[in-house]
Amino acid sequence: MENLVSTVLSLAGVRKTYGDLNALDGIDLSLPDDSYVSLLGPSGSGKTTLLRVIAGFETPEAGAVSFKGERIETVPPHQRDIGFVFQNFALFPHLSVEKNIAFGLENRVENPITDASVVKSKVRDIIGLVGLAGLEDRAVTQISGGQKQRVALARTLVTEPALVLLDEPLGALDANLRTRMLTELRRIRERCGVTFLHVTGSETEALAMGDTVLVLDQGRIAQAADAETIYNEPKSVAVARFLN
């Protein structure tokens, strides 16, 4: 069955430098379609830089980034069909839950949706999917951290990206809520069927979430495997140390 798994994103030899620092030092990876992928690495290992390169906010000095079979290094972020959920949520404080979610659809550069009833219906579907029904008119300053996380996710999903990047999405939540949101994120991903690339510094989070786990160490992929393999057969001392 292996050859039936298709790849949504692949990177080959991707390098990103800041001065004389190799933030990404020859990254090779491939993300399967319709799957949950965790990207695990200590602080400073290059996780955010990798997401920013994939999203198009940074241009790599070398290497290839292919998305749905096409090279995208020179494609601007808004034309990539890739969603980004930021760690701090980055919501608009003066807008309601519903308006925050609708904003990207109505105001995007490519193909903005001008028909209010279409926007309304798409937003309603996503609100149901992420479990925010009943809170549509609430100000985002008057909802909990977990609810803000759902708004941030909904705002990305409503644009129907083919890949969703999440940068330490649960970092701002307390421990109880984090566990609940892990389950929710898996459920939401399964229902929308797109690949999530979830960045985390927490090995428990990565191993619990990822169908595939990528371990990043000093700008290189130290190991890419399913969670059980990473846990039982760490490929290098760096990976083993990080898991302890």
Using rule CB under 6 A, residue 200 touches ligand ADP: no
The Cα–Cα gap between 13 and 27 comes to 5
Strand partners, 65: 11
Q: 47 or 150, CB closer to ligand ADP?
A: 47
Nearest approach, Cβ of residue 200 and ligand ADP (Å): 10
Determine, following the binding rule CB under 6 A, whether residue 122 of this chain makes contact with ligand ADP. no
**Considering the complex, what minimum distance in angstroms separates the CB of residue 222 from ligand ADP?**
13
Residue in the block written with tokens 């939401």 = 188
Q: Which of 35, 48, 212, 223 binds Mg ion (CB under 5 A)?
A: 48
Residues between 78 and 137 that touch Mg ion (CB under 5 A): none
Place of tokens 């960045």: 199
Q: Is 107 in the site for ligand ADP (CB under 6 A)?
A: no
If the CB atoms of residues 54 and 102 are measured against ligand ADP, the closer one turns out to be 54
What is the footprint of ligand ADP within residues 11-50 (CB under 6 A)? 18, 21, 23, 41, 43-49
Backbone angles phi, psi at 10, to 5 degrees: -140, 145
Q: Give 38 or 48: the residue with its C-beta nearer to Mg ion.
A: 48
Closest to 150 measured CA to CA, from 122, 130, 126, 170: 130
Mention every residue, 6+ apart, whose C-beta is less than 8 A from residue 166. 85, 153, 185, 196, 197, 198, 199
100 binds ligand ADP (CB under 6 A): no
Report which of 110, 89, 92 is spatially closest to residue 102, judged by C-alpha positions: 92
Footprint of Mg ion (CB under 5 A): 47-48
